[in-house]
């Protein structure tokens, strides 16, 4: 890839990695579903003038994607963070998305795994087991399982995307966000205490966290990623996604003082090596929002 494309791919990893710390700031004042409702309302409002110029996709399909990819995935992941799970544990848990997608593709689409990808799956899952045994994950076991459940929803969304005609990248970002916002707002009203009060009482740092998720993680990150995926071979672009955990864990250490123990390093390394083997050996997985 040319140098400017490499810079764009690294920028995507930085945007996505920093999103965990941004969410942690936002969750200091916002409950998770309210935070997500505000974020994706802003994303859909900002993208509407551009997305509505393109042909409208099948809205039923966009609704399904919004439920799996945003409401369930993000809802579970950020609920996990709100329950006290560290950024490091959450970041490593997200790496299960690729192995989950790989396994389900083999089951439902007869996608041949082969010895290398099977080995990569084993290594990746072993790494997550090591991380799950750390004091942070084991003391927040429910939160860790919620984060893993979010990855499973991401994988299911990827499989669903393989069964439909994928619309223009702008439409694929806009319509699920538009449909997700009211779903998240209803969940907030039903499950979270006094959500409207949080809007007026939130500190400016929490609003900055939502702004980061809106502008950098969603619009810039996915705008650049979709641009890269449509112009360069997937095998060239996918490996840059492995930089996301590096930026995510680093931001957690710098901004929140999270410790990086030997057990976390070992588990993280095993997980990333396993995901790298799966990605590089046969990079056919669909990639959507984190």
CA distance 267 to 277: 16
Supply the pLDDT for residue 235.
66
CA distance 122 to 274: 7
CA distance 216 to 108: 34
Average pLDDT over the chain reads 89
Tell me which residue of 160, 164, 155 sits closest to 104, measured CA to CA: 155
**C-beta neighbour count of 160 within 10 angstroms:** 16
Residues of the chain short of pLDDT 70, as ranges, are: 234-235, 282-290
Supply the pLDDT for residue 282.
57
Tell me which residue of 120, 127, 124 sits closest to 281, measured CA to CA: 120
Instruction: Enter the pTM of the model.
Output: 0.89
Tell me which residue of 154, 151, 175 sits closest to 90, measured CA to CA: 151
Domain ranges in the chain are 3-281
Question: Is the separation of the CB atoms in 19 and 220 below 8 Å?
Answer: no
Integer Rg of the chain from CA = 18
Tokens 């641009």 correspond to 227
Q: How far is CA 6 from the centre of its chain?
A: 21
Supply the pLDDT for residue 50.
92
Supply the pLDDT for residue 215.
96
pLDDT tens for 125-165 read 999 989 888 888 889 999 999 999 999 999 898 888 888 88
Supply the pLDDT for residue 283.
47
The structure tokens listed for 46 are 């900002």
Supply the pLDDT for residue 119.
92
């Amino acid at each position: 890839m040319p140098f400017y494309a490499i810079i764009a791919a690294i920028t995507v990893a930085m945007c996505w990695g920093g999103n965990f710390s941004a969410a942690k700031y936002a969750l200091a004042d916002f409950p998770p579903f309210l935070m997500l409702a505000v974020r994706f309302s802003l994303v859909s409002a900002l993208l509407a003038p551009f997305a509505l110029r393109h042909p409208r996709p099948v809205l039923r399909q966009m609704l399904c994607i919004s439920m799996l990819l945003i409401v369930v995935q993000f809802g579970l992941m950020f609920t996990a963070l709100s329950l006290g799970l560290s950024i490091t544990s959450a970041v490593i848990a997200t790496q299960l998305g690729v192995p989950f997608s790989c396994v389900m593709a083999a089951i439902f689409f007869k996608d041949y795994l082969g010895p290398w990808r099977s080995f990569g799956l084993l290594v990746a899952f072993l790494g997550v087991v090591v991380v799950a045994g750390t004091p942070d994950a084991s003391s927040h076991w429910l939160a860790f399982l919620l984060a893993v459940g979010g990855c499973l929803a991401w994988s299911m969304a990827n499989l669903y995307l393989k069964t439909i005609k994928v619309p223009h990248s702008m439409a694929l970002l806009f319509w699920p966000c538009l449909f997700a916002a009211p779903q998240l707002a209803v969940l907030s009203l039903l499950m979270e205490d006094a959500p409207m009060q949080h809007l007026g009482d939130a500190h400016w740092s929490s609003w900055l966290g939502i702004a980061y998720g809106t502008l950098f993680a969603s619009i810039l990150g996915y705008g650049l990623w979709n641009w890269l995926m449509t112009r360069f071979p997937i095998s060239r672009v996918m490996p840059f996604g492995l930089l996301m955990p590096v930026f995510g864990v680093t931001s957690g250490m710098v901004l929140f003082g999270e410790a990086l123990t030997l057990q976390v390093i070992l588990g993280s390394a095993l997980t990333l090596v396993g995901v790298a083997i799966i990605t590089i050996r046969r990079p056919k997985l669909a990639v959507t929002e984190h």
